[in-house]
Structure 1
Amino acid sequence: MSRKQSLNAPYDVPYDLKHEHRPVRGCRCNCNPKCNCRCTCACPDHCLCIDPCDSTCGTRTSRNLIVSIDGTSNQFGDHNTNVVELHSRILVDPTAEQRTYYNCGVGTYVPNRAKTFKYWRQRFDNVVDLAIAWNFQTIIIKAYRWLCNEYRPGDKIFLFGFSRGAYQVRTLAGMVEKVGLVNAGNQELIPFAYEIYSQRLKGKENDEAPILAPRFKETFARSVKIHFVGAWDTVSSVGLVRQKPLPLTSSAEHICIFRHALALDERRVKFLPEYVDGGNSNSSPENGLARNASMMIGSGKKPGAPISARGTEQSWVSQESKIDRKSTGASKEGKFSAADLPEPRSTSRRRVTNTKEVWFAGTHSDIGGGLKNNLDLNLSSVPLLWMENEAASAGLRLRPRKTGGAWNWKDLRNDKAYESLTVLWRPVELLPVKRLSFKDATDVTHAPHLGSGRIITPGQRIHASVAFKKPEYHPRATFGWGGGIPWPSFVGKDIDGDFEWPNEWRELLEMDLFDASFTVEAVQNLKSVWEKGEDGEDSEAYYWIKRLSFIALSGELAANYIHALRRARPEETERELRLAVELFRRLVRIQRGSFDPDLAELLERHSRALDDLGRTDDALKHCEEALSIRRNVIAQMPITTKKREKLANSLEILSTLRRKLNQAGSALGFTREAIELRRNLADQYSDDSYADLQRSLNIISFLRCLHSLSDDLRDLDRLPEALPVAEERVQISREIAQSEPDVFAPSLAESLCHLSYILRDLGRYEDACMTVQQAVAIQRGLADADPSVLQDLAFSLHHVAFTLRDVGKFDDALVPAQQAVNIRRRLAEEKPDKFSALFAHSLNGLSLALRAVCRHDDALARAQEAMTIQRNLVRRDADQFKPGLAGLLNTGAYQLSIGGQLEEALCAIDEAVEIQREVIGARPISFHSVLADILDTRANVLCSLGRHEEGLQAISEAENLNRTKSSEPTQLVRERSAVYLSTRSKCLIGVGQPSKALGAIGEALELYREVAEQTPAVIGAVFSQSVDAISGCFIELNSTAALDSMAQMVDLCRLLGKDSPGRFERTLQQALSRYAEGLHALGRNGEAQEVLHEAVELS
């Protein structure tokens, strides 16, 4: 018998699929592999993130494009508005990657100095413009044209406006959404694009405009998402007649982040604000969530419970037509359709958007600025500081303030609101001006306004600065639902008082009061005072502590301070965080309760820094302390959704660290607790658009926890428990993908792929194959519009190839394996640092697929290419890439052996063993199986070299690892045992122990028979490898007893082939051929001829 025939193939497990799981995608940007940036927009081109981090939102090459449009009659001068002041702070140096555009407001074009006809015409134009916004369209088209010229893929667009300028930027955002940004070379079409958007063709309303808009966008423009819109008191009034609003100006669903500052004391009817959705809401804050009841996750089902515990409900796999055979058949065409998503349960679900509408003390011009002399552009009004903070959190880069971030306490308390309802405006209040009633989004009234205050609608918030006005201050606005905040008991607060009052109205308050840079300034001042030795309630230190304690109410104190601690080197960042932790420990000792959450956040951030430096044990201690603080905060203080979120985050961090320290078992409890918190958090927000976003982010975090739990259970070989967790993740992913396919369909595909891994581990190969094909169908459709999905598609195709081989479709498996290689080759050429390792593993997968169809020369070439790539990566970063080399060496060693290069094969497999032994010390128990498989390959190579004693030692170690992997052996473990027993039999024959070899063969057959009787689907492609090895042993033994055992194997193959003929037809043919060879060796030629004839018929 040739060495080629006697070699047992390595166990066919995709190393990278089983052991290199990716995290749930919280962020889809390319700024940093670990990005968790503060931006929380829902645009696939930007990010969908959860926690703050030190990374910058967007891609590495993205820029910020900023458009600012001023208010009515406002322009740059000595009375500058908030629009100009914010615009002046935007960083525009080359390193900032920001481009700006400013346009003064309606009615502000500067006339010529000479009093010519042109001068008087311009003056007349300005007057008319003030009255009816003559140049309204012109201003929008100019800004739109600038964006068309400047925009590059990946750029983020920020729009700012005040008054009518705010309405214009909202119009601009609507236009970009409706008709896109016109492509270069089509600039002449911009006026026509505006006509299509405004639904007025040739000056007349046109019913066909809504149909033309998507066609125009597809033909002539780029689809672009507006990243941020900041509006100060939006007003659309033109003349006395209320016009039909322009499309999408009352909506924010097409905008990633929308911020709107509103005036509590404005009373003029012609300055009524344009709320989002007309101020409509389906419930009041007191009534809790109503609109999105259908999004309640989990339906009370607990992850990890057995399927049978779910009442009469079937598992997702059986419920979805055993992974929806019809839809997976369509995956060959690679198109994403509604069939891949569930039927809608509710039509009231809105797009996920990040929207805040916040009320501030003052009238229209107090909010937007322009009343006071502001030549120095440093008034720092509260509405401006708030808007700056919100924009900076979304990625806008601003210059530091000239006078720091301190606020003027006296101005905050004493600043009087300007009375805008003057004698000139009072007659208008008596007219029947058409306006919204704010009962719903479209209801209007003609009743005289009579100087009434504005209506605060559910979902809107009151800024905390209002509370610090003088006690006699009484806002003119009223709450539309009859409840809200009682103004007399709310205003008149003092910075030196206690801060319990915000808890009573927390869901109605916006606590972000001051410039974020002031946090750093206040902390530095406090440190300076402490260094002088001053302390006590009468000292300057007490003053700064009180200010910091108020900032802490916003929940952003630690986050703002952490942002300033970034350093170029990780060691320096860790040192700054360590000093910050010490400082906040002192603050907690002085004023317990105020700073505890911030200390916990600093401890968590410090733990991440320690972990990045490889000090995971120290990181774990910090995280455990942070978790203890979080629990105490919830136990001793009023419970809020934000505190629950922080606790869930802390549990997830702790679980991750324990997992890294090979403590997957202890990590399970923390992950389960985080899951239950996330499950409940999804329905804890008040009813507004910002709550929609927070709820969706909690669902994303919830899915991430489910992923971690199922992964941990899988690593612990608790597959029956991992399955329902993965099924629940798929179920919820389907529900949220229904509402936002562009954002959440990638998560659905990933959850399907992860479920497929577990189904494969359980031996449910058919289900695993169909599940991952469904993921591929979704990803193919998404990749057409979003090339970043290609990396996920390659991953799924890689897995499809394995599952096709599992079900016996060896030729079919070549196609997805080659497609995965093609995609990753291209990605690796574009970004070698990011994709080279994945490319190597795809080559490894293709090598296995080629081996399965006996194209051994091609398989060896691919395996060698993979090993070369991975070795180059190891030279660059051994810690990161060396573990991945072991699996590639295992495949390469087998292919070298097939080609007769046994010495080279032994060198490769010895190196693989050495690497995997190093890996086991720091990885979960599931990695033991990889070492066992590598040792099995080594035993086969040694036997082929005639070194049977060494081979026997290697296979004995493999068997021991397989036995210790699970206290209760799964069917997969039993099948592995059978594989190793077949290798043992070859080694025993080589050392002259034929009877023991025959006994090993008998044990292997018995194990296969047990598995086949209980769960025949578990027996995979590896069975054919065992048939080949065991048959070779029978021939070597050349005995009647051996021939009887071979007959039993043939019967077993026939039994398996009845249920799955496609999977085992080739294996049966192989067993029959070997059986015929054995019969012939014993002189039973007639029987041998009959068996051989059956084998030929199968071929």
Structure 2
Amino acid sequence: MASTKDTVNNEQADVYRPTLPTSLNSEATLSVPSVIPPEHDHRTLVLCFDGTGDQFDADNSNIVQLVSLLKKNDRNKQMVYYQSGIGTYTSSKAVAPWWSAFQKTLDEMVAWNLDSHVMGGYEFLMQNYIEGDKICIFGFSRGAYTARSLAGMLHKIGLLPADNLQQIPFAYKMYTRVDHIGWEQSNGFKKAFCSDVTIDFLGVWDTVDSVGIFPKRLPFTTSNGIVRVFRHAISLDERRSKFKTNLWNRPTDQEAQLGVQASSSQLAQPCMSPTTSLNEKEPSTPTSPSLHNPSEKRSNTRSVRGGSEKSGGFRINEIRIGGSTHDKKLDTMEAMYSASARKKLEVPTDIEEVWFAGCHCDVGGGSVSNKTRHSLARIPLRWMVRECFKANTGIMFDSEGLREIGLDPATLYPFVTPRPRPLKIKPEHKVQKPPEVPIPVRLHATLSKKRPAGIHAHHTVHTSPFLGSEEAEELNDALSPAYDQLKLKKGWWILEILPLQLRYQRGNNEWVTRFGSNLARPRFIPKQITHGVKVHRSVKMRMDAEYEDERKKGKRYKPKAHLRVEPIWID
């Protein structure tokens, strides 16, 4: 959503504000510099972590698309680090082929080598960061969790000086420790060896945190005081059990006050015995309402704890294990440890999480061939790029590349201009159905081998110029097919039916573990009544159009996730 802070003043904004959607090949657009911004007063280090199984191929993710847009030929102005997704390589350098293949498969299933991915990004920063650089980190899927974990490690441990390669594994081990001794040692190690750094921009697409055989949250992955701007594009229609959303935790006033009052001296005091219940030290939380009392269910519709399925609660035939002691202890220690970070930052983290139409790969990219002109994933890609300019990150983009994804560089530089109103949906506009033939997608999306690309005949173009406006591109993208893997690949239903230990995020951002069947339960959007819900305006466009599929004739798109309030529509 456009804001007045994005322009210097109304008079200047009027110079650049388009009264009508402008052509991406207009004279004004083509007159902008080949790289925007052409100059800035700092160097930017951009780190990009791809999704599970993702790498450069025939159906690239938004991470690869983003990297392709960046200036990469002058390390004095900008350095770009790209890491292929979890499951594409192993940490071992000399192993038997069968063991390497096994490691890759295990990594793709449960992110077995998450430590290698995080330490790889940390090493890049350690070797290249100099004071005054801006750090910007991006990620998709488990790569988004890797990005958030790296940010967490930088917060808890700090950044080692260059050439301390042998110290990185030790630093990572301390980062992952959440017991009292681990926090105390991390604090001492940071003071002795490391420097404090801040992260200027952390942008992620549809974070997935199902990492490890027995997944546990890593420190500062749901809230991080050294991050200036956090942006998160989230899928409205993903339903798979292993793809539950991982939202950012906005601290309550009480939590923020706890962080301000905490000090490093508190870290030197034992918080509690490992055998002591954390509930004895924390304010008591309300118990879950009865599954059989409708009035109690209605009174707690904002919390996942309730028994109502519509509120993201638990079914009667499921066994609730409860909130994780690990997570509760981590929340307490994070609040105390964050005191110094909050004091250093002039303002709290600028947080914006926006929901988009489509499933996991419709938000993060990778569900269609690279030759496909229009897709749902292009919308959150353009949104993220625009947010980089609105946040004044200084990330340098190739203007021609921006045109290729449907962005007008003249609306981003030298000022970010308010967007025109979206184009209206007409009767002839229909929500397209996926192609009848199998689509080329990855193991984590299909549970099968990838088929050759280039099969989207009626949805592809061949390097034709983008002659329309961004609004026209947005309209066509908003009506593009969604690729629900539960419909396209029935093998995913095995994980939906089998009773599994699953983690869900409550309305208060606390994680709870339960044992049961997911059965394609839609995602839960917490705090809608108290905080609202931000949804991209393209979702409204899609909701206003009827389906092209004859089997759904007369019906319109409705997000799988339940919207209980009128959304805050975001440009």
Common fold by TM > 0.5: yes
Q: 1:146 aligns with which of 114, 121, 124?
A: 124
Partner SS state of residue 359, structure 1: strand
1:213 matched to 2:182: no
Residue 443 of structure 1: CA displacement? 4.9
Partner of 1:448: 517
Displacement of 1:239: 5.8
1:80-229 to 2 correspondences below 5 Å: 80-94=60-74, 97-109=77-89, 118-199=96-177, 206-229=179-202
Native 8 Å contact 1:65 1:157 kept in 2: yes
Distance in 2 (alpha carbons) for counterparts of 1:156 and 1:444: 36
- Alpha-carbon distance, 1:417 to partner: 1.5
Partner residue of 1:392 out of 389, 394, 406: 389
Match of 2:463 in 1: none
Matching of residue 382 in structure 1 with residue 411 in structure 2: no
Aligned partner (choices 226, 242, 251) of residue 254 of structure 1: 226
Conserved 8 A contact 2:238-2:360: yes
Question: How big is the shift at 1:227?
Answer: 0.9
**Which one-letter code corresponds to 1:355 in the other structure?**
I
Q: Note the C-alpha offset of 1:133.
A: 1.3
Secondary structure of the corresponding residue to residue 372 of structure 1: coil
In structure 1, stretches of 5+ residues that fail to align are: 1-26, 28-55, 200-204, 284-289, 293-346, 486-504, 513-1099
Q: Residue 433 of structure 1: CA displacement?
A: 2.5
Q: Distance in 2 between matches of 1:211 and 1:133?
A: 28
Secondary structure of residue in 2 paired with 1:159: strand
Aligned to 2:565: 484
How far 1:478 sits from its partner (Å)? 1.5
Query: Counterpart in 2 of 1:690?
Result: none
Alpha-carbon distance between aligned partners in 2 of 1:236 and 1:213, rounded to the nearest angstrom: 23
Match of 2:504 among 423, 436, 452: 436
Cα distance change on mapping 1:377 and 1:96 into 2, 3 Å? farther
2 CA distance for matches of 1:441 and 1:94? 41
1:358 is matched with 354
1:245 aligns with 2:310: no
User: Partner amino acid for 2:122?
Assistant: Y
Partner SS for 1:230: strand
How far the C-alpha of 1:95 sits from its partner, in A, is: 8.6
Q: Which residue of 2 aligns with 1:412?
A: 477
2:501 is paired with a residue of what secondary structure? coil
Cα distance, 1:266 vs structure 2? 0.2
Report 1 or 2 for greater relative contact order, CA contacts < 8 Å, sequence distance ≥ 6: 2
Q: CA deviation at 1:371?
A: 1.1
Checking the alignment, whether the CA contact within 8 Å between 2:151 and 2:224 is kept in structure 1 is no
Match for 2:244: what amino acid?
L
The separation in 1 between residues aligned to 2:67 and 2:373, in whole angstroms, is 10
Q: Secondary structure at the match of 2:203?
A: strand
The alignment status of 1:236 with 2:209, answered yes or no, reads yes
Residues 966-985 of structure 1: matches in 2 within 5 Å? none
What letter is aligned with 1:80?
A: N
Residue aligning to 2:10: none
> Could you list the per-position Cα deviations for residues 168-189 of structure 1 after superposition, in whole angstroms to 9, with x for gaps in the alignment?
0000001011111101343321
Deviation, 1:62, is 1.7
Match of 1:172, SS? helix
Residue correspondence of structure 1 range 908-1057 to structure 2 within 5 A: none
Find the aligned partners of 2:143 and 2:68 in 1 and give their Cα distance: 17
Contact 1:70–1:103 at 8 Å: present in 2 too? Answer: yes
Cα offset for 1:254?
A: 2.6
- Contact between 1:378 and 1:402, CA under 8 Å: does it hold in 2? no
Contact 1:268 1:451 in 2 (8 A): yes
Does the CA-based 8 Å contact 1:265-1:361 persist in structure 2? yes
Per-residue CA distance 1:615-636 (angstroms, 9 max, x = gap): xxxxxxxxxxxxxxxxxxxxxx
SS at match of 1:444: strand
Residue type of the alignment partner of 2:359: T
AA matched with 1:62 = H
Matched to 1:428, the amino acid is L
Is this contact kept in 1: 2:112–2:211, CA < 8 A?
no
Structure 1 position 117, deviation (Å): 7.3
**Structure 1 residue identity aligned to 2:385:** E
Say if 2:379 and 2:478, in contact at 8 Å, map to a contact too: no
Give 1:362 deviation, angstroms.
0.4
1:60 to 1:364, Cα distance in 2 relative to 1, 3 A: closer
How far, CA to CA, are the matches of 2:403 and 2:251 in structure 1? 41
Q: Is the CA contact 2:239–2:520 (under 8 Å) kept in the aligned structure 1?
A: yes
Q: Deviations over 1:652-692 (max 9, x none)?
A: xxxxxxxxxxxxxxxxxxxxxxxxxxxxxxxxxxxxxxxxx
Q: Which has the higher helix share?
A: 1
- Aligned equivalent of 1:275: 247
TM-superposed CA distance for 1:373, in Å, is 1.1
- Secondary structure (helix, strand or coil) at the match of 1:78 reads coil
Q: Give the Å deviation of 1:426.
A: 1.8
CA change 1:187–1:132 in 2 (3 A) is same
Preserved CA contact (<8 Å) 1:85 1:377: no
Preserved contact between residue 71 and residue 163 of structure 1 (Cα < 8 Å): yes
Asked if 1 retains the 8 angstrom alpha-carbon contact of 2:114 and 2:211, the reply is no
Structure 2 CA distance for partners of 1:439 and 1:409, relative to 1, 3 Å: closer
What whole-Å deviation, never above 9, does each CA across 1:840-899 have from its counterpart, x for those lacking one?
A: xxxxxxxxxxxxxxxxxxxxxxxxxxxxxxxxxxxxxxxxxxxxxxxxxxxxxxxxxxxx
The offset of 1:99, in angstroms, is 0.3
- Secondary structure of residue in 2 paired with 1:374: coil
Give, in angstroms, the shift of residue 409 of structure 1: 5.1
Partner letter of residue 182 of structure 2? A
**Which secondary structure does the structure 1 equivalent of 2:518 belong to?**
coil
Task: Give the deviation of 1:126 after TM superposition.
Answer: 1.1
Q: Does 1:468 align with 2:548?
A: no
CA distance in 1, matches of 2:65, 2:481: 21
Q: Name the CA shift for 1:445/1:95 in 2 (closer, same or farther; >3 Å).
A: closer
Residue 95 to residue 251, structure 1, CA distance change in 2 (3 Å): closer
Q: SS at 1:196's partner residue?
A: helix
What CA deviation, in whole Å up to 9, does each residue of 1:341-390 have, x standing for no partner?
A: xxxxxx9x997110100000000111000111116999770000000111
Q: 1:142-173: per-residue Cα shift (whole Å, max 9, x none)?
A: 11011011101111001010000000000000
Is the 2:374–2:476 Cα contact (8 Å) retained in structure 1? no
**Offset of residue 449 of structure 1:** 2.4
Conserved in 2, the CA contact under 8 Å of 1:65 and 1:99? yes
Distance in 2 of aligned mates of 1:206 and 1:111: 27
8 Å CA contact retained: 2:112, 2:212: no
Letter paired with 1:468:
M
How far residue 237 of structure 1 moved from its aligned partner, in angstroms, is 0.6
Q: What residue is the counterpart of 1:1002 in the other structure? A: none
Per the TM alignment, residue 454 of structure 1 is displaced from its structure 2 partner at its CA by: 0.8
The aligned runs of 1:859-938 (5 Å cut-off) are none
Distance 1:423 1:239 in 2: 25
Q: Is the 8 A contact 1:263 1:367 kept in 2?
A: yes
SS at match of 2:132: coil
**Offset of 1:412 from its aligned partner?**
2.8
Query: Considering only CA atoms, is the larger Rg found in Structure 1 or Structure 2?
Result: 1
**1:260 positional shift:** 0.3
Between the two proteins, the alignment pairs up a number of residues equal to: 361
- Tell me, yes or no, if the aligned pair for 1:163 and 1:233 is still in contact at 8 Å: yes
C-alpha distance in 1 between matches for 2:569 and 2:559: 15
Q: Which residue of 2 aligns with 1:835?
A: none
Classify 1:468/1:96 alpha carbon distance in 2 versus 1 (closer, same or farther; 3 Å). Answer: farther
Q: Find the aligned partners of 1:72 and 1:351 in 2 and give their Cα distance.
A: 34
Distance 1:217-1:428 versus aligned 2 partners, 3 A rule: same
Q: Find runs of 4+ consecutive structure 1 residues off by over 4 angstroms.
A: 279-283, 375-380
